C-alpha cells in the first residue's frame, strides 16, 4: 500500500511527462518542414527532459524502500539518449531513427511491466499499458521502415508524442483521483 500512496502523491510527475510529450508533438505539427538537424536537437531536449522527470519519479516512488527500478532504467535511458544526441548532432538520419526506435522499444517494454505491476493497485492501468504498447509499436515501425522520408518521420514522431502524452495525462488524472482513497482492486 505504501507504493500506491507514493504513486498517488506523485501524480504530477506523470502529468508533466505527458504535457511535455504533447508539447513536443505540437511542435512537430507546427513545423512540419523542420530539418533533420533541428529534429535532432528538439528530440534530444525531449528525451533529456523525459529522462530527468522519470528519474525524479523513480526516487519519489519507493518500493520496499528503494527507487522503482523500471523508472530508473527509463530515466537513465532518456538522459543517455538526450546527451548522446547533443554530443553527436551530426549523426545520420538512419542512426537517429534507430536510436529513437530503440529507446521507444525499451521504454515501452518497461512501461508495460509497470502496468502489470500496478494492475492490482489501481484501476484503468490500461492507460500505462497502452502507452507502453504504443511505444513498442512506434519503435518497431521505425526499425521496420528506416528509409522513410524525414517529413514522414516528423509526422510519425509527432503523432506518437501526442498519443503517448495524452495517455500519460489520462493516467495522471486517474492516479490523482485515487489520492486519499487508495483501495486495492478486487482480485
The DSSP result for 36-104, as a single string, is HHHHHHHHHHHHHHHHHHHHHHHHHSEETTEE-HHHHHHHHHHHHHHHHHHH-TT--HHHHHHHHHHHH
* pLDDT at residue 97 is higher than 70: yes
Q: Can you give the pLDDT at residue 118?
A: 80
Count how many domains the chain has. Answer: 1
What would the mean pLDDT of 18-38 be, rounded to a whole number?
Answer: 81
Q: Can you give the pLDDT at residue 133?
A: 93
Q: Can you give the pLDDT at residue 100?
A: 79
Q: Flag whether 31 is in a domain.
A: yes
Q: Flag whether 121 is in a domain.
A: yes
* pLDDT at residue 180 is higher than 70: no
* pLDDT at residue 186 is higher than 60: no
Q: Flag whether 55 is in a domain.
A: yes
Q: Can you give the pLDDT at residue 114?
A: 85
Element (H, E) at 146: none
Q: Flag whether 134 is in a domain.
A: yes
**Percent above pLDDT 90 for the chain:** 16
Q: Can you give the pLDDT at residue 35?
A: 57
∠ CA 170-171-175, rounded to 5°: 120
Q: Can you give the pLDDT at residue 23?
A: 92
Q: Flag whether 182 is in a domain.
A: no
Q: Flag whether 187 is in a domain.
A: no
| Domain span at 76 | 2-177
Q: Flag whether 13 is in a domain.
A: yes
Rounded mean pLDDT of the chain? 80
Q: Flag whether 183 is in a domain.
A: no
Chain mean position to CA 122: 19
Amino acid at each position: 500500500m505504501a507504493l500506491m500512496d507514493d504513486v498517488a502523491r506523485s501524480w504530477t510527475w506523470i502529468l508533466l511527462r505527458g504535457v511535455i510529450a504533447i508539447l513536443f508533438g505540437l511542435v512537430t505539427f507546427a513545423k512540419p518542414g523542420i530539418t533533420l538537424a533541428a529534429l535532432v536537437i528538439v528530440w534530444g531536449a525531449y528525451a533529456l527532459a523525459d529522462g530527468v522527470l522519470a528519474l525524479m519519479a523513480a526516487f519519489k516512488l519507493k518500493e520496499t524502500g528503494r527507487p522503482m527500478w523500471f523508472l530508473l532504467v527509463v530515466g537513465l535511458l532518456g538522459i543517455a539518449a538526450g546527451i548522446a544526441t547533443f554530443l553527436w548532432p551530426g549523426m545520420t538520419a538512419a542512426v537517429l531513427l534507430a536510436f529513437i526506435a530503440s529507446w521507444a522499444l525499451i521504454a515501452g517494454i518497461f512501461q508495460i511491466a509497470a502496468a502489470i505491476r500496478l494492475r492490482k493497485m489501481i484501476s484503468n492501468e490500461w492507460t500505462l499499458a497502452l502507452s507502453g504498447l504504443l511505444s513498442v509499436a512506434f519503435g518497431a515501425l521505425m526499425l521496420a521502415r528506416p528509409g522513410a522520408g524525414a517529413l514522414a518521420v516528423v509526422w510519425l514522431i509527432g503523432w506518437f508524442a501526442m498519443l503517448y502524452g495524452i495517455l500519460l495525462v489520462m493516467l495522471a488524472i486517474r492516479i490523482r483521483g485515487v489520492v486519499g482513497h487508495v483501495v486495492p482492486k478486487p482480485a
